[in-house]
Amino acid sequence: MYKVLIVDDHFVVREGLKLVLETGEHFEVVGEAANGEEALRLVEETKPDVVLMDLNMPIMSGLEAMKQMKERGIAVPIIILTTYNEDELMMQGLALGAKGYLLKDTNSENLFRNIESAARGEMLLSGPVLERVLAFQVKETEPPVREHGIMLTDKEAFILESVAQGYTSKRIALDMAVSERTIKSHLTSVYNKLGVDSRSQAVAVALERGLIRI
């Protein structure tokens, strides 16, 4: 059973997600919050497996709540609830370690799959969100930034692009005909080069600097 905390300032959105989750056998809504401040309190009280987090909320935004959770060492997987006009905020959320993004009108299958993936510590971006990340890259007028000469090898770039598409280390290892340990070793190298400590942060930084394309 996956314990889920829903954080959104719109009651209708919270109720809609709750109703969808209640149709699944493996999900339990352990709390609802209307802003980031309430979310911080409920995260510590309910100990959820996954948090569904809105970005724009009164009192405290979802991004600020994520920052404070990181500062306090609260390592709960977060899935951002996003709309069609929040691409820049979405990229900031990735950099803060979000495990994935869901459009608020997503179907139950995507919702269930993303929650299960996040609870396992994996990153999963749905098709529509991947398209938006790519569109955000195209809109940027600045040329790709390779700060301080940072470059990824072809293998590292392929692995990170696969991670961004939701593939696990095991699946990537099968595709490349190498061991899972080798994949993790390459990812560690990527983390060191980019100065990050998680898959989601690595994807966000690499996308921002034009080091990978998805």
For the chain, domains (ranges, CATH) are 2-137 (3.40.50.2300), 143-208 (1.10.10.10)
Q: What is the pLDDT of residue 42?
A: 97
Q: What is the pLDDT of residue 138?
A: 46
CB 61 within 8 A of CB 55: yes
Compute the distance between CA of residue 31 and CA of residue 33 in angstroms, rounded to an integer.
7
Give a three-class secondary structure readout of 143-211: CCCCHHHCCCCHHHHHHHHHHHCCCCHHHHHHHHCCCHHHHHHHHHHHHHHHCCCCHHHHHHHHHHCCC
Q: Which of 52, 51, 117, 55 is CA-nearest to residue 83?
A: 55
Q: What is the pLDDT of residue 129?
A: 57
Q: Which residues contact 157 (CB under 8 A, 6 or more apart)?
A: 206, 211, 212
pLDDT averaged per 10 residues, the chain (length 214): 95 93 93 96 96 92 92 91 70 77 84 89 64 53 49 89 84 89 91 85 81 77
CB atoms within 10 A of CB 213: 12
CB atoms within 10 A of CB 96: 20
Tokens for 153? Answer: 């090898």
Q: What does pTM read for this prediction?
A: 0.66
Compute the distance between CA of residue 23 and CA of residue 107 in angstroms, rounded to an integer.
12
Q: Look-up: residue for tokens 């959770």?
A: 69
